[in-house]
Structure 1
Amino acid sequence: MQTNSTPIHQRRLLTLRQGSDYAGVCRTKLYGEAKAGRLKLLKIGGSTRIERSELDRWIDESVA
């Protein structure tokens, strides 16, 4: 398995685990926010990803 050494803050797409670490919330919270329509997740093949810009937008709106 190859590892990607690009820092999370420079990646465009994040796994849900990376996204939860980045946002400081659990993965369940991200799934709940997506189900409520406040966060957009992407399915790529069999995996779920989130755009870092989408996560940044959600964080900004959550703290405002």
Structure 2
Amino acid sequence: MTARQQAIFTLDELAAYLKVGKRTLYRLASHGEIPAFKVGGTWRFRQSEIDRWINDQIQAGRKKEVIRTDEQPKSADHSVSSGRAVRRRRQTE
């Protein structure tokens, strides 16, 4: 294994690496949405797993874009959605 594969981040270090808040990372880790493990009650993150997770997120985003482009294009003459219309009516009453 290379040194990079063995790198372990703390919550603070990963927050800086990903440029996100510590609360966001804590939430993702506690819900199992990001690869993490605990050592003595504190979260740790293996850089190789985080990099793989990032690539998976990118791929998932690309798949969603393909699905969106395959959907029927919205025409310009669509009316306002019923949710918006209801909110507008309530404001005027």
| Fold shared, TM-score > 0.5 on shorter chain | yes
Whose strand proportion is higher, 1 or 2?
1
Runs of 4+, deviation exceeding 3 Å: none
What is the RMSD computed on CA atoms of the aligned residues? 2.2
Count residues with an aligned counterpart.
Answer: 56
Q: Deviations over 1:1-51 (max 9, x none)?
A: xxxxxxxxx461011100010111111111121233221222222432111
State whether residues 34 and 41 of structure 1, in contact with CA within 8 Å, keep that contact through their aligned partners in structure 2. Answer: yes
Aligned-pair CA distance for 1:60: 2.0
Quote the Cα distance in structure 2 between the aligned partners of 1:45 and 1:38: 20
Q: Percent same amino acid at aligned positions?
A: 33
Instruction: Please list every run of 5 or more consecutive structure 1 residues that lacks an aligned counterpart in the other structure.
Output: 1-9
TM-score, normalised to structure 1's length? 0.64
Correspondence for 2:43:
48
Instruction: Please list every run of 5 or more consecutive structure 2 residues that lacks an aligned counterpart in the other structure.
Output: 60-93
TM-score, normalised to structure 2's length? 0.48
| Structure with higher RCO (Cα < 8 A, 6+ apart) | 1
Larger CA Rg, structure 1 vs 2: 2
Correspondence for 1:22:
17
